[in-house]
Amino acid sequence: MNKENENKAPEKSLKSSGSKKRKYINKAIFKAVKTFFLSLLVIGVLGGAMGIGMIKGIIDNAPEVDVDSIVPLGYATTVYNSAGQVTDTLVMAGSNREEATYDELPKVLIDAFVSIEDSRFWKHRGIDTRAILRAVSGVITGNSSSGGGSTITQQLIKNNVFNGGRERSFGEKVERKFQEMYLAVKLEKQMDKKLILTNYLNTINLGSNSLGVKVAARRYFGKDVSELTLSEATVIAGITKGPTKYNPITGQAANAERRKIILQYMYEQGYITKEQQEEALADDVYSRIQNVNTMAKEKNSPYSYFTDALVSQVTQALINEMGYTETQAHNLLYSGGLSIYTTQDPNLQQIVDSEVNNPENYPDTKYSLEYRLTVTDSEKNTHNYSEKDINKYHSETLHDGFNGLYPTEDAAKADAEKYKSSILKDGDTIVGESVKTVLEPQVSFVLMDQKTGSVKAISGGRGEKTSSLSLNRATDTTRQPGSTFKVISSFAPALDTSGNTLATTYYDAEYTLGDKTFKNWYDKQWYLGWSSIRDGIVYSMNIVALKTLMETVTPRVGVQYATDFGISTLTDQDYNASLALGGLTKGVSNLELTGAFATIANQGVYTKPMFFTKIVDHNGKTILDNTTPATHRVIKDSTAFLLTDAMAASTQNNRKFASSGINVNSTSTRAHLDNMSVAGKSGTTSNNVDVWFVGFTPYYTAGVWAGCDENQTLSDNGGTSFHKDIWRKIMTKVSEGQQDIGFPVPDSVETAVVCRKSGKLPIPGVCDHDPRGDSTYTEYFAKGTVPTEACDHHTTVTVCRDSGLLPTPNCPTTTRVALIIPSGQSQTDDSQYAVPTATCNIHGGVNPIVGSDAPTEGVTDNQDVGVAPSSNHPVVTPRQNNNVTVGVAPGDDHAAATQSPSPVVTPSKPDKKNKKKKPSEVVTPETTAPPAHIKSTPPTKSDDDSDVLHGPGVSAPKNDGPHASPGPSISTEGPGGQASPILVGPGE
């Protein structure tokens, strides 16, 4: 026992010690917690005092509110053209907003809005504490479905007192929120709940240019607001959260989901029974909306295409520059009483509208069909049909090869009746039907001032415009740009930063990249061999553009330049060869393509096309000033001039330097103006689906597109040139009375005489004795880029006089000028004049004799080069051209065969007084007939380029054919010269 007690004593002592220790710890913790809470209390009191003072200050600064100031107001927004004339009014009070009284509002509509927007509206006194706490909890937990904390009263104040809440900073929003809650409590003491709700329902934006429930009921269901059913009321109530996202026409799926939530809320809150909820959910309400939308006719005149584009640009400006939401921008634009001053010139707009809608400008007019049919069958199922179903009926049932176009409007309507008869069954009921015809082919046109970026006139299509904010083919649709894009993606970057000049040559021959072999639009005319960038522009040569992009520029740089030119529709799929030919993933809009060419016309400086100069609010304050829009330089002024000069040549009557019988002509002669200088580029896509011309005068840049809305070919629907006639007629009238100041040559540009087959300095007596004529001409160059090397694509060879092949010891010999061509290439116009490789088989002998002085590919500057004999071509005497002296080989053939040429080139500014030769002054040189296998008939499209790919192409080039080196030794061939009807380039 004693032993046990002895053992327990230490244990008891240990417990006593541990207990004391815990007491001390607990005491310390209690003091710490006490201190902490006391500190919190002090901070809370101080913070509360400060908060109360701050809130009091905010409330004191709240605006006054009373019954009269809280009613919705609709101020008309007025649109003025550049002459100060009113052209449109946007959403005039009483036209887009109609006031409904509380007695007109059906109970189902009131209950629908209250259930989803403010379930305790009839109980609270302006603010709902529970809703605020729920909203705060949702923010903290990230639960977006928790709902907002604003009551209907607060929303009414926000819309009508705080202009929808346009605060930019968080602090301003917090201040407005406190004032909003204070005013909501104050308002409910002055205004009856029913009046608050009525004003709210008359104020809200419900999409599709509808303000208030009365207009929305008519817009979506074609009935008075008092006639709305439960199903229809929940559709309208679902729009409020986001007029664009939940629009029952364009956002049907989102609206349907929100409608289900509203019906569930109404059921849970006791407004409807389960049977009423299920009946509403089973209602195919959206088919009625589509039918009303199709047949809706606006009472007022629809906006013009210019105003349509203006509305879009102003909305984006309010969002991007002022930080508004889409709803806020919409509300301000349509009911804010703005004054919008536009760039539209009424006289120029009238010219554009007149020519676009002139039937005489269309060789062939057909019609497409827009069809809507809604049918309810005997089992109450609803079926919707469109023109796509009619087309499917033709292809799968009739098998008649129908392409979607009709010769007359009557034929289109008759076909719709025939289709309707084929699908209607006993017991079917037609709920709604709409038949509308559309003129084809369609056209869009953009006219702008390149110096300011101001859009002066625009047309989004031909035919009667029947609704506002309808399809605008000038701004809203994107089409493949075809060969117009060669200038933007290939030639501009090549000249600007890639070391090329207008004289740089590439070998026009069969070209394969990956599994695609590319052709030119003149493929029936054979390939043409060495051709310059100038040629590539004037004659729209696909191979030259492709090789420029793939072998020099690279698609990456091409995309970057196009983007800098203002093209916003390029994608990651466009880094490929098709970029050179305008075969893009999404295509381009006419507005952006015209803006890109306006950059060239504006000496290389881009200005975004703009439709307005300034916007003034209802109180006379300028809220947006667009008179000095932002600009940026895309290309050097020298590059812009070089492109301009080449594109100007494409509008003149020129033929490619080639053998007799080959007729490859400039592609834009139908856009030539007799009363004004003009430069531009045409474009035609595969199968003649899209045709373009974009060009400019010293004053204006204009782009025209033509095609069918559903991509039918133009080959049998008006042809591929009528759009250029429209462009020419419009721009001829636009230019009347203006002085033709031409396109001045900038100080950054000089001239030099070069060989058109190499782009380098001509060899006297050789380059001017090409078998097809004189291949020398004067070209423009950016200063510092004039070539310093002699031509390496021409040479002289000693051949058998009879066979023209390499001579044997027994052959009578002569010398002739020949072409050095890259190995492994397909047959071209140049290859028939290439240095021969076979030996004469007429005179016998086995030892071929080639003049030791005849260079081959890779010839260097110090090799001796012979000249063509005078028996074939007269010896050219030295000449003086624009202060440029070119040395010439002596007349003795054999002496010249051992002489090394020493061309002397002294570039200088061109003489602006010297005019280009007229066609009657041009001497056509002696030419050599092409081989028998060359077709000598004119091309099927004498002035149009085509065969451009649709969509992305391939990126890995397989053709390793050489081209002229970049830099000072770059080559170019200008079209024209003595082998063309008219000279091209600075002069000769």
The per-residue pLDDT for range 220-247, each reduced to its tens digit, is 998 999 999 999 999 999 998 889 899 9
User: Token pair of 197, please?
Assistant: 């709700």
d(CA 626, CA 454): 10
User: Token pair of 825, please?
Assistant: 């290439």
Count of residues making up the chain: 988
Please state, as a whole number, how many other Cβ atoms lie within 10 Å of the Cβ of residue 886. 23
Give the SS3 label for residue 639: helix
| Angle between helices 213-221 and 230-237 in degrees, nearest 10 | 120
pLDDT of residue 312: 94
Beta-bridge partner residues of 816: 797
Our separate counts of H helices and E strands in the chain read: 25, 25
d(CA 321, CA 67): 34
Confidence category of residue 895, pLDDT binned at 50, 70, 90 = very low
Which helix H or strand E contains 731, and what residues bound it? helix 722-734
Confidence category of residue 92, pLDDT binned at 50, 70, 90 = low
Mean pLDDT of 520-537: 94
| pLDDT at 868 > cutoff 70 | no
> Would strands 77-80 and 339-342 be described as parallel, antiparallel, or unpaired?
parallel
User: Token pair of 536, please?
Assistant: 């590539």
pLDDT of residue 191: 84
Confidence category of residue 369, pLDDT binned at 50, 70, 90 = very high
d(CA 756, CA 794): 10
Note whether 822 and 835 are within 8 A (CB). Answer: no
d(CA 105, CA 213): 9
Q: Among 20-29, 743-752, 797-806, name the one with the lowest average pLDDT.
A: 20-29
Mean pLDDT of 165-178: 64
Note whether 169 and 131 are within 8 A (CB). Answer: no
Please state, as a whole number, how many other Cβ atoms lie within 10 Å of the Cβ of residue 84. 8
pLDDT of residue 845: 58
| pLDDT at 578 > cutoff 90 | yes
Which tens digits make up the pLDDT trace of 629-650? 889 999 999 999 999 999 999 9
> What is the reported pTM?
0.66
Beta-bridge partner residues of 506: 531
Beta-bridge partner residues of 88: 79
Contacts of 259 (CB under 8 A, 6+ apart): 234, 235, 237, 238
Note whether 91 and 329 are within 8 A (CB). Answer: no
For 263, what's the count of Cα atoms within 13 Å in the CB-facing half-sphere? 24
| pLDDT at 416 > cutoff 60 | yes
Mean pLDDT of 365-385: 92
Report the candidate in 961, 859, 853 with the shortest Cα–Cα distance to residue 899.
853
Quickly tell me which residue has 């004067």 as its tokens. Answer: 778
d(CA 567, CA 593): 7
Largest CA distance in the chain: 148
pLDDT of residue 151: 87
Q: Is the peptide bond before 441 cis (omega within 30 degrees of 0)?
A: yes
Contacts of 173 (CB under 8 A, 6+ apart): 165, 167
pLDDT of residue 330: 84
Distance of CA 744 to the CA centre of its chain: 29
Report the candidate in 365, 358, 390 with the shortest Cα–Cα distance to residue 440.
365
Note whether 779 and 754 are within 8 A (CB). Answer: yes
pLDDT of residue 93: 43
Mean pLDDT of 802-827: 93
Q: Among 113-127, 134-148, 580-594, name the one with the lowest average pLDDT.
A: 134-148
Which tens digits make up the pLDDT trace of 485-527? 999 999 999 999 999 999 999 999 999 998 899 999 998 888 9
The amino acid at 329:
A
Note whether 500 and 552 are within 8 A (CB). Answer: yes
Note whether 238 and 251 are within 8 A (CB). Answer: no
Which tens digits make up the pLDDT trace of 896-922? 333 333 333 333 333 433 333 332 222
Q: List the Cα angle 824/825/828 in 5-degree steps.
A: 150
Mean pLDDT of 694-710: 97
Which tens digits make up the pLDDT trace of 844-863? 755 444 443 433 333 333 23
d(CA 426, CA 910): 83
Confidence category of residue 152, pLDDT binned at 50, 70, 90 = confident
What's the DSSP call for residue 397?
I
As a whole number, the mean pLDDT across the chain is: 80
Confidence category of residue 188, pLDDT binned at 50, 70, 90 = confident
d(CA 623, CA 729): 39
Q: Beta-strand (E) ranges in 598-748? A: 605-607, 612-616, 622-625, 631-633, 679-684, 690-696, 700-707
d(CA 235, CA 237): 6
Contacts of 510 (CB under 8 A, 6+ apart): 517, 527, 825, 826
Is the model more confident about 400 or about 920? 400
DSSP secondary structure string for all residues of 520-575: -TTGGG-B-EEEEHHHHHHTT-HHHHHHHIIIII-HHHHHHHHHHTT-----GGG-
Give the SS3 label for residue 239: coil
Give the SS3 label for residue 625: strand
Can you say whether residue 256 is alpha, beta or left, with left for phi > 0 and alpha for psi between -120 and 50 degrees? alpha
How far the first Cα of the chain sits from its last, in Å, is 136
DSSP secondary structure string for all residues of 93-117: BTTTB----GGGS-HHHHHHHHHHH
| Strand arrangement, sheet containing 429-440 | 382-386, 366-376, 429-440
Contacts of 718 (CB under 8 A, 6+ apart): 362, 363, 364, 365, 441, 706
Quickly tell me which residue has 């098709």 as its tokens. Answer: 578
pLDDT of residue 209: 73
d(CA 270, CA 884): 96
Q: Among 14-18, 70-74, 184-188, 378-382, name the one with the lowest average pLDDT.
A: 14-18
> Would strands 794-800 and 511-513 be described as parallel, antiparallel, or unpaired?
unpaired
pLDDT of residue 239: 94
User: Token pair of 857, please?
Assistant: 């590919």
Q: List the Cα angle 610/615/618 in 5-degree steps.
A: 160
Note whether 755 and 767 are within 8 A (CB). Answer: yes
Mean pLDDT of 88-101: 67
pLDDT of residue 619: 78
What's the DSSP call for residue 491?
I
pLDDT of residue 939: 37
User: Token pair of 884, please?
Assistant: 């440029």
User: Token pair of 291, please?
Assistant: 């039918």
For 329, what's the count of Cα atoms within 13 Å in the CB-facing half-sphere? 19
